[in-house]
Amino acid sequence: MSGGIRRVGVVGGGQMGAGIAEVCARAGLDTVVCEADAMAARAARERVAASLERAVRRGKLDPAAAKDALARLTFTGTLEDMADRQLVVEAVIENPGAKTEVFAALDKIVQDPAAVLATNTSSLPVMRLGMATSRADRVVGLHFFNPVPVLPLVEVVSTLHTAPRTVAVVADFADDTLGKTVVHSRDRAGFVVNALLVPYLLAGIRMAESGFATATDIDTAMELGCAHPMGPLKLADLIGLDTVAAIAEALYEEFKEPLHATPPLLRRMVEAGLLGRKTGRGFHVY
């Protein structure tokens, strides 16, 4: 069945959505990306094109393959263009209301009764999104990691309603078609990776907040002392401090553990728009 998925939709053309669309197009799939409007759709196309160009410059992708991948992509500002998709991956802002609205709309728009609706949420309950549809058995979490074209992992998240067949189809698709490594998780906040990672990032933020050590020294200590490729504050900047805060809030809401509580410094930085790499400044300047 996974080999039968040839038409993919991605809702949201930001950093994650663009990356998901790129790997689908590079895998030979007819891929439609939907953004909020035509202007945002053009920006999404430019984002994917720039990523493909970087891959070519680095020798990771043949120029002809990059051209073919871009030709397989359609960018739109109209959600109705998802009607004929066999798999739709939602990758909009990490906001429960926004995601629920997308799923409710897709439930009415996507015509194939066997189509799978997936979410790339990093922390929100997949069940909540499934219950916004009439096909909760075909709703699943499909969590990619940034940058999507580079990182090999995908978390497949099943809810109490997700059919085993849906899980198998999506896992095979991620593995066989996209060439990703799949790990499975139940529908718990943070799934596997973020449930382990985010408390570590928050500990690094608290250390910097307390004045125990500078951001640079904290990162250097973990990179050279523990052989981590990137220290916790650099990694938080890469993920986006708004995203880190959103995941922390979801973890705290679910488990009520003090280690999940959002540090005041992180909240202030998000309020100030100091979100990390994407804004040019977070715990470090870019």
Write out the E strands in the chain: 7-11, 30-34, 73-76, 87-90, 116-119, 139-144, 153-158, 181-186
Residue of 51, 120, 122, 185 marked active site: 122
Active site residue 95: no
Active site residue 155: yes
Sheet containing strand 181-186, edge to edge, reads 73-76, 30-34, 7-11, 87-90, 116-119, 139-144, 153-158, 181-186
Cα 123 to Cα 222: distance, rounded to the nearest angstrom: 25
Residue of 22, 155, 158, 185 marked active site: 155
Active site residue 194: yes
CB 217: neighbour CB atoms within 10 A? Answer: 13
Active site residue 122: yes
Residue 283: both structure tokens together = 């715990």
Residue of 123, 143, 161, 185 marked active site: 143
Residue of 90, 185, 194, 260 marked active site: 194
CB 160: neighbour CB atoms within 10 A? Answer: 10
Amino acid 174 reads A
Active-site residue numbers? 122, 143, 155, 194
